[in-house]
Structure 1
Amino acid sequence: MSKIKYNIALLGGRGFVGQEIIKIIDKHNFFDLSSIYSSSKAGEKINSYHKNPELKYSDLNKNLQLDGVDIVICALPNGESSKFVDKIEKIDNSIVIIDIGSDYRFDKNWFYSIPEINNISSGIKRISNPGCYATASQLSIAPIKDIINLKVSCVGISGYSGAGATPNDKNNPKIINESIFPYSLSNHTHEKEIKKHCYSKVSFSPHVADFFRGILVTSHFSLSEKLNVEEIIKIYDDFYTNNKLVKIQKDPPLIKDVINTNYAIIGGYSISDDGHDLVTCCVIDNLLKGAASQCIQNLNVTFGFEESLSLEDTFN
């Protein structure tokens, strides 16, 4: 792909993830936003996009205008993207579409991609961006997948931004104030996602806590080989040696260390006395590596750029 600039239409610019995408593309050398659609902010200026200070939200409820558009990012609530994909394909089937929601994560015609794991290549036209919990869990599982014995147990704690901007129990201050709220403790959609794309014998239990952003996933493994902490760390180091956005450390990582960054940190490695039971911790910013920046990371690779292009900065 030889173009120097690629034009993007963003569907769903009002939400938390949409706002992060706008900030990232504002700093990207090769991606520009030509239009941003919202069902509630049509006509309003987009103050966070400095490349084009006159750009205003377009009405998502009206016909999409995609002339000259190379990429469509769907940053819509789960179940909404599929309503627009057929329309986009009828306008121009050559447009690259990436969906941040869950609509296509189990569709064989869409490429599901955590770039560090799934080896996305240039030229892919339909990309399904992974879920936030599923990202942190799979980053923890993938390096040792071949030496796991039996079931993996993952416990996730997320800030309430993961519940979206629309009021619900998982972002209700009366419920989560100074507390942790467990929900969907079995058969969560991200558990199904992990089983489909990484490791089939896994249980996942999510919780939402009284902070805005960030995720911690603690994973428990039974190993088929006896290993010590140093050997485990080397396995993770070797697996992610060429990936700039995954950091490996011995100490337990803290959510505050990844807030407003595009990095995942995996650490806290603890081994049982017999060398067969392992615990790891992974932290990411759910709005960035768990959504917006992983989207741009996937697009970077798809269009032949370095995967971490414009993603190694901290966003405030």
Structure 2
Amino acid sequence: MKTAVIGSTGYGGAELIRLIEGHPHLELAMLISTSQAGDALSQAYPHLRHLAYTFQELDIAQIGQEAELVFLATPPGVSGELTPQLRAQGKLVIDLSGDFRLKDGRSYEDWYNRKAAPDKWLAEAVYGLPEWFAEEIRTADLIANPGCYPTATLLGLLPLLQHRMIDQRALVIDAKSGVTGAGRKVDQSLLFSEVNENLRPYKVDGHQHIPEIEQAAERLAGAEVRVRFVPHLVPMNRGILVSLYAPMLHKYTTTEVLHMYEEVYEDAPFVRIVESGWPSTKAVQGSNFCDIGVHVDERTGWITVLSVIDNLMKGAAGQAVQNANLRMGWAATAGLMQSPLFP
């Protein structure tokens, strides 16, 4: 299946290139970059110098002729403008930005501080969390790839909501991400000397992933969900660790909850339940896996869920390819069974 990547010079775009090159059913037809059109791929990413691609200008008509599937790895706001044009040409679109994740355009404008995509396309978009919304993804032509923080959070949270085990009005999410989660851009706060030996919270007063988490959680809870979400920047390249805390509605043991998670994710090839020890970002680096561990504090009646992913893989490009696999009826693991990098 011939594929185009728009926004191919960012970290997510580079991961898409790597995954498409190793995929049994995908062929990279076009790499599109408005900032580096005409440059060789190796100028942006020397580690891909063995691939003889050149970045091209954005030309919707040309995409219509050369590609069937389009991955959008663009900043917020760009996908909302391009997607209607691509869909008008009958293209399957998987969007890695946040432009189609929220069903309510007003909510998007409040949280992202920019104009929302047209309601028609917000209604058409399917939220692409494969482990939970597979049936919708299989028939979707516009797939909204989840954010990295929401992916790690929801994979840990949704089993508890599905089984009505916790109070969904009192959820605390402490999240930590590597620096690549901020994208590939020049920013003083992301300089080595600013990040190294430093642990820094940000957007404590409200992160744009909050409504995305609540929207998906409410589908499973069948009731209003409210989360307190605080992200932190960690001096490492890749990885997200989410620590989720919630009061339990009834008494359960850790063993009982672990068994429940194992049943929920029995057929999910990329979710691994950690029975002994605790999840760590190094254990999933470079892979599409999500590792989940849980602990029930019987003294306080609270549960702690620990969920880890590689933010560029399961949190972005890997999940996008997983969605393509699901949509096309290919094996979920096609092109994605790389073992984590260690050490």
Q: State the TM-score, normalized to the length of structure 2.
A: 0.85
Q: What are structure 2's unaligned runs of at least 5 residues?
A: 43-47, 103-121, 219-224
- Report the alpha carbon displacement of residue 88 of structure 1 after superposing the two structures with TM: 1.8
1:170, 1:253 → 2: CA distance? Answer: 28
Indicate the residue corresponding to 1:207 in structure 2: 232
- Report the alpha carbon displacement of residue 85 of structure 1 after superposing the two structures with TM: 1.6
The answer to which structure has the higher strand fraction is 1
Indicate the residue corresponding to 2:29 in structure 1: 34
Kindly indicate whether the alpha-carbon contact (under 8 Å) linking 2:251 and 2:298 is maintained by their aligned counterparts in 1.
no
Which deviations, in whole Å up to 9, do the C-alpha atoms of 1:70-100 show, x marking residues without a partner? 111100112221121233234x1x2101110
Q: Which moved more, 1:156-165 or 1:79-88?
A: 79-88
Q: From the superposition, tell whether residues 14 and 137 of structure 1 become closer, same or farther in structure 2 (CA, over 3 Å).
A: same
The answer to which structure has the higher helix fraction is 2
Determine helix, strand or coil for the equivalent of 1:33.
strand
Indicate the residue corresponding to 1:95 in structure 2: 91
Question: Which residue, out of 273, 279, 289, partners 1:253?
Answer: 279
Question: Which residue, out of 105, 123, 126, partners 2:139?
Answer: 123
AA paired with 1:76?
T
Q: Percent identity?
A: 29
1:89, 1:111 → 2: CA distance? Answer: 14
Indicate the residue corresponding to 2:301 in structure 1: 276
Determine helix, strand or coil for the equivalent of 2:158.
helix
Q: From the superposition, tell whether residues 82 and 176 of structure 1 become closer, same or farther in structure 2 (CA, over 3 Å).
A: same
Indicate the residue corresponding to 2:209 in structure 1: 190
Kindly indicate whether the alpha-carbon contact (under 8 Å) linking 2:286 and 2:313 is maintained by their aligned counterparts in 1.
yes
Question: Which residue, out of 56, 63, 86, partners 2:54?
Answer: 56
Indicate the residue corresponding to 2:72 in structure 1: 74
- Report the alpha carbon displacement of residue 172 of structure 1 after superposing the two structures with TM: 2.8
1:222, 1:108 → 2: CA distance? Answer: 34
Question: Which residue, out of 175, 178, 181, partners 1:159?
Answer: 178
Q: What are structure 1's unaligned runs of at least 5 residues?
A: 1-5
Indicate the residue corresponding to 1:14 in structure 2: 9
Which deviations, in whole Å up to 9, do the C-alpha atoms of 1:214-256 show, x marking residues without a partner? 1000000111110011001011111100001010012211111
Kindly indicate whether the alpha-carbon contact (under 8 Å) linking 2:149 and 2:175 is maintained by their aligned counterparts in 1.
yes
Q: Does 1:147 align with 2:161?
A: no
2:60, 2:23 → 1: CA distance? Answer: 27
Q: From the superposition, tell whether residues 235 and 169 of structure 1 become closer, same or farther in structure 2 (CA, over 3 Å).
A: farther
Aligned residues: 305
Q: State the TM-score, normalized to the length of structure 1.
A: 0.91
AA paired with 2:324?
L
Q: Does 1:45 align with 2:71?
A: no
Question: Which residue, out of 83, 86, 95, partners 1:85?
Answer: 83
Determine helix, strand or coil for the equivalent of 1:154.
strand
Kindly indicate whether the alpha-carbon contact (under 8 Å) linking 1:186 and 1:203 is maintained by their aligned counterparts in 2.
no
Question: Which residue, out of 243, 259, 272, partners 1:234?
Answer: 259
AA paired with 2:74?
L
Indicate the residue corresponding to 2:290 in structure 1: 264
AA paired with 2:302?
D
Indicate the residue corresponding to 1:111 in structure 2: 126
AA paired with 1:204?
F
- Report the alpha carbon displacement of residue 182 of structure 1 after superposing the two structures with TM: 0.6
